[in-house]
Chains A and B, each alone.
Chain A
Amino acid sequence: SCDFYVSPARRSSGFRATTIMAVEFDGGVVIGADSRTTTGAYIANRVTDKLTPIHDRIFCCRSGSAADTQAIADAVSYQLGFHSIELDEPPLVQTAANLFKQMCYRYREELMAGIIVAGWDKRRGGQVYTVPMGGMLVRQPVSVGGSGSSYIYGFIDSKYKSGMTKEECLRFTADALALAMERDGSSGGVVRLAAITESGLERSVILGNQLPTFFSA
């Protein structure tokens, strides 16, 4: 009919270019994100929390448009909660990831959202699934996303080894995020980390002056 739909080509409000990361280890996952939300060149929020709980042991890391990812996360956490109540047991991470994928793929033209789903469940332990823009779904042992991720692919490829402990994973994630924040203008602020295991959830924050330092030219 006669609607003129305004295209969301360049959303300038609450756009989040970011660095997000998730790593699996034996017994759980470690997730991390920076804390900057920009509207154009202004940092709208310098202490954003981009690690959103979807269920007790399942989190998602959000990158892209803030409005879109918040709305998707709300919708998926509702659907997952409902599903979990029906099943009468905690949901699988794979289920959560598929719910994200369905929504991101169906509305791929209208949405701008890159999401990493990570968590722990009884069947397969710690898992990381990445759902980038466009709605692909793939499981990876380590995954990075957001605009700052391009600067740390080399670091990830060279430093990652399987069989790391939780503390090694936390240090690895903190280092990678610090490097990305150093190089990417749209990432910065503090580093928010979370470790999800069977026994629960441990959240931590690394403030700007406590970040790991590297060589700076």
Chain B
Amino acid sequence: GAERETVKTAGTSLRLSFSWKHQEICRVLSCHVLQPLLKFIFFLSFRNLLLEDALGEGKSNAPKPLKTGTTIAGVVCKDGVVLGADTRATSSEVVADKMCAKIHYIAPNIYCCGAGTAADTEKTTELLSSNLTIFSMNSGRNPRVVMAANILQNMLFRYHGAIGANLILGGVDCTGSHIYRVGPYGSMDKVPYLAMGSGDLAAMGVLEDRFKPRMEQEEAKTLVRDAIRAGIMSDLGSGNNIDICVITSKGVDYIRPYQESEYKDNRQKKYKYKPGTTPVLCEKVVRLELELVHETVQKMETS
């Protein structure tokens, strides 16, 4: 209503409407201060849309959320689980992080690869990790992979897809080695091999071709490496290095990076130019006239 008219006119009136919005927002947020929020409040997305229109026909865009355009894969092998991921994090068309860690720690025997919005996968897995640690301490039992998958599923279903996290959960527990896929809307699948992210089609092709049940560990590592490499080669959102995480009942081997990308840049990090590189056109010296007002001498104790 009222705010649209002010936005249409000029820059200064935008500032006025913004402060009105600011008061409105504070009022809204304060009524939730005492209770925990049960849902996401999308109120500010309205304001962001108005701001984008006002700043002029798509000339300046709001910063896009950091997405991990990704390739992640997981395979159940003979004595454990092999998880793999690329290491590129993109913010629209710029690579924001070349050595992003997409395989997150959940428990000593459970790790989770995340694709989707980077912040969501990070925080969801951290939350899951703390909840599982508390559970272990309370019950005196080691956490199981199916438990982690159920907790994730319940949480993501509650948020109805607002948390953009596609996760591959893998681990070894007393019941064996398992891989679960959890989708952003809260759907769960238990499968022997899996690929997700924007490069999943390419990686899945490699996995479908060469997967065999109960593979040896080295063969599984090579298969996952090749699947991620296929994703890196065929997808613009995936790239840089490959991380591999091997989980067995004896322990975890988190190899980061398992394979570095062939395209390395040699950054010098020190940019010194010789004197005379920038030509001096003219020179002017200005004396600072200083007057000695007061002088004190303090002797130092040197004995």
Contacts and interface: CB of A to CB of B under 8 A. Distances in A.
Nearest to A66: B187
A6 B157 contact: no
The 10 closest A-B pairs by CB, nearest first: A14-B187, A4-B42, A66-B187, A67-B185, A67-B186, A67-B187, A14-B183, A13-B185, A45-B189, A13-B183
Interface in B1-43: 28, 31, 39-43
A44 interface: yes
Contacts of A70: 153, 186-188
Given A42-B201, A70-B153, A2 B188 contact: no
A110 B39 CA distance: 15
Interface in B55-92: none
A48 B189 contact: yes
Interface of A: 1-6, 8, 11, 13-14, 37, 39, 42, 44-45, 47-48, 65-68, 70-71, 110
Interface string B156-188: 110011100000000000000000010111111
Q: Which of A14, A45, A47 has the most CB of B within 10 A?
A: A14
Contacts of A6: 42, 160-162
Contacts, number: 68
B189 A44 contact: yes
B189 A4 contact: no
A131 B187 CA distance: 20
Contact of B157 (A1, A37, A67): A67
B273 interface: no
A4 B45 contact: yes
Given A5-B39, A67-B153, A67-B185, 8 more contacts: A4-B46, A8-B160, A13-B161, A13-B184, A45-B181, A45-B189, A66-B187, A71-B186
A33 to B, nearest CB: 15
A43 B123 CA distance: 28
Contact of A4 (B31, B43, B161, B188): B43
B183 A1 contact: no
B191 interface: yes
Contact of B161 (A8, A44, A48, A66): A8
Contacts of B46: 4
Contacts of A110: 160
Contacts of B181: 44-45
A144 B79 CA distance: 41
Nearest to A8: B160
A114 to B, nearest CB: 16
23 contacts: A3-B39, A4-B41, A4-B45, A6-B161, A8-B160, A11-B161, A13-B161, A13-B184, A14-B183, A37-B189, A39-B183, A44-B181, A44-B189, A65-B185, A65-B187, A66-B187, A67-B153, A67-B156, A67-B186, A67-B187, A70-B186, A70-B188, A71-B153
